[in-house]
Amino acid sequence: MKKFKFLIFFTLALLLVFAYVTVYLAKNKAPEYEMMQASKMITLARNEKSPGFAKNSFEQAIRYYDSAMMEWKVQNEKFILFRNYQKVKYWALKSTGSSQKSVNNARKKLADTHELTEIRIEKITRQFNKFETFYSHFPHNQTLRKEITLCKLLNAESLQAYKNRNYGTCNTKLDSVEITLNLVIDHFQKILVDSFKAYPQWQKMVEQSIRQSKKNKTYVFIVDKMARELMVYKNGVLSHKYIIELSPNWLVNKQKQGDKATPEGFYKITDKKQNGQTKYYKALLLNYPNEEDKKRFVQNKKQGTIENHATIGNFIEIHGSGGKGIDWTDGCIALKNEEMDELFRICSLGTPVTIVGSIKSLNELSYPLK
């Protein structure tokens, strides 16, 4: 009987301890939301020119944020049951408050007037035009599409508020538009920088292909994904240039089947299809995957960058049925039918096809920074 009572008492004690720990951890969870809000507000304050027009409150917000980060680090080094994030939350909220104060002070000094609002609208319109010119054709995942759609909606609402002379509402919406648009542009600029790490290799591939064309008195097709061009060289001299359409994920090198990416590398034409042999009017089959593709595929599996069950894919072609004005293929290169007729006529089995990310360097392309 005593043993039974002891077990009951011990079980209840464990349950109480478990309940206490659960409640304690729930109440004392890391203030990630408060820290994220503090960081966002500092970014907003900086974009609102607070360092110049509300220097004291802005620098105070930075100090509060740094204090929060230091305290967070101290607490994270403790055993989980001994952590107390109240000071972290306190400093984060103080930082948010100071950032908001600096934003308000800056706006008051700048004056929320028709002229100021008009200047902001013109600035953001230039940013939108920059985005449409340089980045609208870049691959967009679902999250980015939502961000861009929301950004355009908020921008339209801000313009309506401006027309109604509701400058406060207009500037509030423009805040969100500007921050989101800059984040999207930052995202694409990072992708560009990462992609162009391969530029020295692309440059050598193009030079080698043109050299071989001149030496062997043959044709070579060079595909520039960034420029959306297929160039035909004959005896080392450019003879034709065609606008092409690619796959939705064209910016990166193809890694596996189904990734909607256009491969990069040295290839050759292995088959010429027409008269019902292809659904794309005419098609030139490439020898993808080549040996380099296979080696990279195996290495990527070993490194875990692609799934073990993934396959490498095949049937990459230069084909007709293009002219849609969008990137729509499954990794292939599409041209208009009349241009495919020209390629079909001049090429033969074994004609080299070199596909690179870009012939021009990132500096030559002049993609603008914010």
The per-residue DSSP string of 137-178 comes to TS---HHHHHHHHHHHHHHHHHHHHHHTT-HHHHHHHHHHHH
Domain count for the chain, please give it. Answer: 3
Q: What is the pLDDT of residues 271-329, one digit of tens each?
A: 999 978 888 999 999 999 999 999 999 999 999 889 989 999 899 999 999 999 999 99
pLDDT attached to residue 247: 93
Q: Are residues 265 and 332 in the same domain?
A: yes
CA distance 51 to 72: 26
Which residues constitute the domain of residue 250?
217-360
Strands 229-234 and 237-243 turn out to be antiparallel
Full-model pTM: 0.64
Q: Are residues 338 and 277 in the same domain?
A: yes
pLDDT attached to residue 105: 85
Q: Considering only CA atoms, which of 272, 271, 222, 260 is closest in space to residue 242?
A: 222
| Cα separations in angstroms, 28 against 39, 65, 87, 191 | 21, 19, 11, 38
Q: Are residues 235 and 336 in the same domain?
A: yes
pLDDT attached to residue 167: 79
Q: Which of residues 110, 140, 167 is at a domain's end? A: 110
Q: Are residues 237 and 345 in the same domain?
A: yes
CA distance 210 to 233: 7
Q: Is residue 212 situated within a structural domain?
A: no
Q: Are residues 229 and 124 in the same domain?
A: no
Q: Is residue 369 situated within a structural domain?
A: no
Helix (H) or strand (E) holding 238: strand 237-243
Task: Please report, in tens digits, the pLDDT of each residue of the chain (370 residues total).
Answer: 656 655 665 565 555 545 444 444 455 677 888 888 989 999 998 887 788 768 899 999 999 999 999 998 998 888 887 888 889 899 999 999 999 999 888 877 756 567 788 888 998 988 888 888 888 888 877 888 888 888 999 999 999 998 887 877 888 999 999 888 888 888 888 888 888 999 999 999 999 999 999 999 999 999 999 999 999 999 999 999 999 999 999 988 999 998 999 999 999 999 999 978 888 999 999 999 999 999 999 999 999 889 989 999 899 999 999 999 999 999 999 999 999 999 999 999 999 999 999 999 988 887 665 4
Which CATH number fits the domain that encloses residue 224? 2.40.440.10
pLDDT attached to residue 19: 46
> Residue 96 contacts by C-beta under 8 Å, 6 or more apart in sequence?
34, 37, 38, 41, 61
Helix (H, G, I), strand (E, B) or coil at 254: coil
Q: Is residue 271 situated within a structural domain?
A: yes
Q: Are residues 132 and 237 in the same domain?
A: no
Q: Which two tokens stand for residue 129?
A: 């035009």
Q: Is 39 exposed, middle or buried (0-12, 13-18, 19+ CB in 10 A)?
A: middle
Q: Which two tokens stand for residue 296?
A: 């990279």
| Cα separations in angstroms, 167 against 50, 106, 112, 203, 370 | 19, 15, 7, 51, 25
pLDDT attached to residue 17: 47
Q: Which of residues 165, 196, 227 is at a domain's end? A: 196
CA distance 223 to 298: 25
